[in-house]
């Protein structure tokens, strides 16, 4: 039995939580992977996994073996990369995942320059607003703008703060009046992002730290920030956006801020990637580039 291959299989099964998911990723049958792990257990003389119809759970010996697997496999990867002249420069395919609005509005500003700097690198871009499992979908780096990152084994590198603004079209405010207090927002429709838990609820704070929670009536909800942006520019109602989504529209006057002096909770732009002791040159080059790019304020007035 190829013990290194069996160790890779065991780690993949544990990371993905099932033989089925690991088999899909590896492109082999469930039976092949199950046999590999059973042979590994037989060779080691101990049970590594407790199997039920609903879940897999590592035994105490399995957890110990997993830790050693991770160390050995990452050392092998580091050695291979260091010895390979091909890998001394960023090369191969970089699999990148971003939210749709970020992909449409931000990538054009800097991705061409990054690609031109690394001629041996190809980009495979996945633009989606759904949750992406980086391990299962074999994504190298995900750029996320969020106010919360769930606990996980992934690494999250902070790149920039993302201010959230309440905005409307001048034409809307001319027809319906400009709200001057949080309470007056209840008389205006909110264009809500439907993927939020509470798309019609806003939490506002003033410079003195006073906080208000406002529930606004619904006129339009959508699962696309770009569709909501178009609706806001068209004068359909008030909406909240990350500044990068409406920066250009604010600059040319198609949208204007609403309720000066009150702020929505800011969010953060992160680069999220699988944990590894040795980053592939393509991943390291990308992370260094985006961190340097967003080290300077990009969405200031």
**Above 90 in pLDDT, residue 232?**
yes
Question: Tell me: the pLDDT tens digits for 17-38?
Answer: 888 888 888 888 888 888 888 9
**Above 60 in pLDDT, residue 212?**
yes
Contact 2, 36 (CB under 8 A): no
| Distinct helix (H) and strand (E) counts, the chain | 10, 14
Phi-psi region of 21 (alpha: psi -120 to 50; beta: other; left: phi over 0): alpha
What is the overall mean pLDDT for the chain?
A: 88
Lookup: tokens for 182 = 């949080």
Q: What percent of the chain has pLDDT over 70?
A: 95
**Above 70 in pLDDT, residue 151?**
no
pLDDT of residue 28: 86
pLDDT of residue 141: 95
Range of the domain at 60: 3-72
pLDDT confidence band for 301 (50 / 70 / 90): low
> Environment class of residue 26 by beta-carbon count within 10 Å: exposed (0-12), middle (13-18) or buried (19+)?
middle
Shared domain check, 185 and 121:
no
Shared domain check, 242 and 104:
no
Shared domain check, 230 and 97:
no
Q: How many domains does the chain have?
A: 3
| Angle made by CA atoms 205, 207, 208, in degrees to the nearest 5 | 90
Shared domain check, 193 and 177:
yes
When pLDDT is averaged across residues 215-234 and rounded to a whole number, the result is 91
**Above 90 in pLDDT, residue 201?**
no
pTM > 0.75: no
Q: Locate tokens 């007056």: which residue?
A: 184
Query: Could you say which DSSP state residue 201 is in?
Result: E
pLDDT of residue 226: 93
Dist CA 132 CA 126 (whole Å): 10
- Say which residues have a Cβ less than 8 Å from residue 161's Cβ, sequence separation at least 6: 266, 267, 268, 269
**Above 60 in pLDDT, residue 92?**
yes
- Cβ neighbours of 270 (radius 10 Å): 20
When pLDDT is averaged across residues 155-170 and rounded to a whole number, the result is 93
pLDDT of residue 34: 87
- Cβ neighbours of 150 (radius 10 Å): 7
When pLDDT is averaged across residues 243-262 and rounded to a whole number, the result is 93
Does residue 216 or residue 149 have the better pLDDT? 216
CATH number of residue 28's parent domain:
1.10.10.10
pLDDT confidence band for 197 (50 / 70 / 90): confident
Q: Which of 16, 49, 72 is the last residue of a domain?
A: 72
CATH number of residue 179's parent domain:
3.40.190.10
**Above 60 in pLDDT, residue 258?**
yes
């Amino acid at each position: 039995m190829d013990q290194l291959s069996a160790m890779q299989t065991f780690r993949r099964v544990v990371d993905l939580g099932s033989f089925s998911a690991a088999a899909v990723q590896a492109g082999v049958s469930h039976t092949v992977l199950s046999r590999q792990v059973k042979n590994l257990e037989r060779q080691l003389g101990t049970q590594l996994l407790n199997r039920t119809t609903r879940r897999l759970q590592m035994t105490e010996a399995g957890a110990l073996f997993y830790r050693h697997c991770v160390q050995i496999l990452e050392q092998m990867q580091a050695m291979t990369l260091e010895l390979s002249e091909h890998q001394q420069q960023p090369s191969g395919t970089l699999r990148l995942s971003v939210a749709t609005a970020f992909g449409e509005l931000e990538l054009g500003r800097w991705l061409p320059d990054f690609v031109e700097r690394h001629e041996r690198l190809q980009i495979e871009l996945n633009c989606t607003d759904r949750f992406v499992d980086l391990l299962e979908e074999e994504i190298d780096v995900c750029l996320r703008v969020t106010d919360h990152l769930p606990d996980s084994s992934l690494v999250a590198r902070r790149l920039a703060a993302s201010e959230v603004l309440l905005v409307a079209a001048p034409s809307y405010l001319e027809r319906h009046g400009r709200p001057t207090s949080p309470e007056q927002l209840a008389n205006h429709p909110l264009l809500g992002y439907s993927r939020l838990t509470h798309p019609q609820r806003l939490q506002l704070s003033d410079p003195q730290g006073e906080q208000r929670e406002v529930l606004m009536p619904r006129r339009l909800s959508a699962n696309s920030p770009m569709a909501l942006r178009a609706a806001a520019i068209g004068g359909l109602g008030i909406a909240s956006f990350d500044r990068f989504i409406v920066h250009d529209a604010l600059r040319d006057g198609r949208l204007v801020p609403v309720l000066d002096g009150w702020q929505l909770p800011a969010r953060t732009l992160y680069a999220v990637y699988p944990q590894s002791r040795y980053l592939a040159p393509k991943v390291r080059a990308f992370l260094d580039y985006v961190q340097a790019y967003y080290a300077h304020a990009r969405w200031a007035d």
